[in-house]
Amino acid sequence: MFSKILDFWNTQIFDLLPQSNLHKPIICFDLEGPLSPQDNAYEVMAESSKGREIFEKISRYDDLLTLDGRMGYEPGDTLSLIVPFLLAYGIKTSDISRVSERATIISGAKELIERLGREGWEIYIISTSYEGHAYNIGRKLGIPRENIFCTELNLEEKRKKTGDDVIKLVLDVEKRLLETKGDEELKELLDELFFEELLRSSYDVLSEVKVIGGGRKLDAVLEISDRSKVPLDEILVVGDSITDYKMLEGVKKEEGVSVVFNGNEYAVPYASIGLATTDMRWLHVITSNISDIFEMVDLWEEKRDSDSEFIKCNLSTDLTRDVGELPYIHNLMRRDNFDEVIEIHKRYREMMRGLSAKLG
């Protein structure tokens, strides 16, 4: 189906034909990783002296709950769990936007987004990020707010509704949390805090903030599909972490194209294509060959280390021809073991994301 859409958008007779039953090809990006290296919530927590360590503990707890399949919990709900700490530390909504201003754009992402727009793609961001960060990065890339799905948060409104007893509970647990050793001790302490003590104080941590992660990312893709009248097998999604695996898997199951970009072990097995690179422009070789994508990817894997000249002459696009090192592009549909791919992605992830690379 992708081939028919892209062939049509590239014809010169577009303006002469009725457009009522036609639609643009759609691509949906996760934000943190594929478009910007900053983990905004991590950096916002770092505004407090112990915030970075606290975030790392809660991020690990998020991984544990996700892997356990905790009922009602979605990967990425870290951004709900940290809210009581943000309130206790006196963080303001404006601080989220201020920290976001320090965020850079992934190399090549702006050029890619501009090219995809000219080629007729409808571009969306689906992100766990708080809206102050998501809208800032979207603005830098020229993606309108109406095409951005993200997490709403007003800390001033939350503080008005949150009792001092909640703040005291959070501050009292901070030292013990930093001293936890191992997953079991961490899980026991945070289970008690979030799902017993805070609930007794009428603070339901998972109801306070609706984070756009896990299944809610797939819900966003389904909403885009429904309102655009574009089936999932004609949608391309890009993600990199545990918050994206349901979106990657859901689109792959419907025979759409799901790309894991510099992903971790929680995301790689759920995508259909792996892309490991320091420059996002290389995604253009995938969007430009979408009609026979797996044939192209198989050829890329075969030739990457043996005939780079063939790749540059036959598989690269004008957008990528002068980009330096060739990326790794893998067909994940025909793999049962992902260890080699994960190791490659891990190297690029660490290069591109720094401290944030270790987060789930």
With 0-12 / 13-18 / 19 or more C-beta atoms within 10 angstroms meaning exposed / middle / buried, residue 47 is: middle
pLDDT of the residue at 355: 55
Helix locations, the chain, DSSP H = 2-9, 40-45, 51-68, 78-81, 83-88, 93-100, 109-118, 131-141, 155-161, 164-178, 183-192, 198-200, 205-208, 215-228, 245-253, 284-287, 293-303, 308-314, 339-353
For the cut 70, the answer to whether the pLDDT of residue 302 exceeds it is yes
Domains of the chain: 2-36+106-150+214-358 (3.40.50.1000), 40-100+153-208 (1.10.3870.10)
- What is the rounded CA–CA span in Å between residue 46 and residue 261? 26
For the cut 90, the answer to whether the pLDDT of residue 47 exceeds it is yes
E strand or H helix at 226, and its extent?
helix 215-228
For the cut 90, the answer to whether the pLDDT of residue 8 exceeds it is no
- Share above pLDDT 70 across residues of the chain, in percent, rounded to a whole number: 92
pLDDT tens-digit series, residues 76-103:
999 999 999 999 999 999 999 999 999 9
pLDDT tens-digit series, residues 147-170:
999 999 999 999 999 999 999 999
Highest mean pLDDT among 61-70, 277-286, 287-296, 315-324: 277-286
Q: With DSSP H G I counted as helix, E B as strand and the rest as coil, what are the percentages for the chain, rounded to 5?
A: 55, 10, 35
pLDDT of the residue at 358: 56
pLDDT tens-digit series, residues 192-242:
999 999 999 999 999 999 999 999 999 999 999 999 999 999 999 999 999
pLDDT tens-digit series, residues 269-293:
999 999 999 999 999 999 999 889 9
For the cut 70, the answer to whether the pLDDT of residue 17 exceeds it is no
- Per DSSP, 32 falls in state B
What backbone torsions phi and psi does residue 115 show, to the nearest 5 degrees? -65, -45
For the cut 90, the answer to whether the pLDDT of residue 4 exceeds it is no
Nearest to 345 by CA among 256, 246, 250, 278: 278
pLDDT of the residue at 2: 57
- When the pLDDT of each residue in the chain is averaged and rounded to a whole number, the result is 92
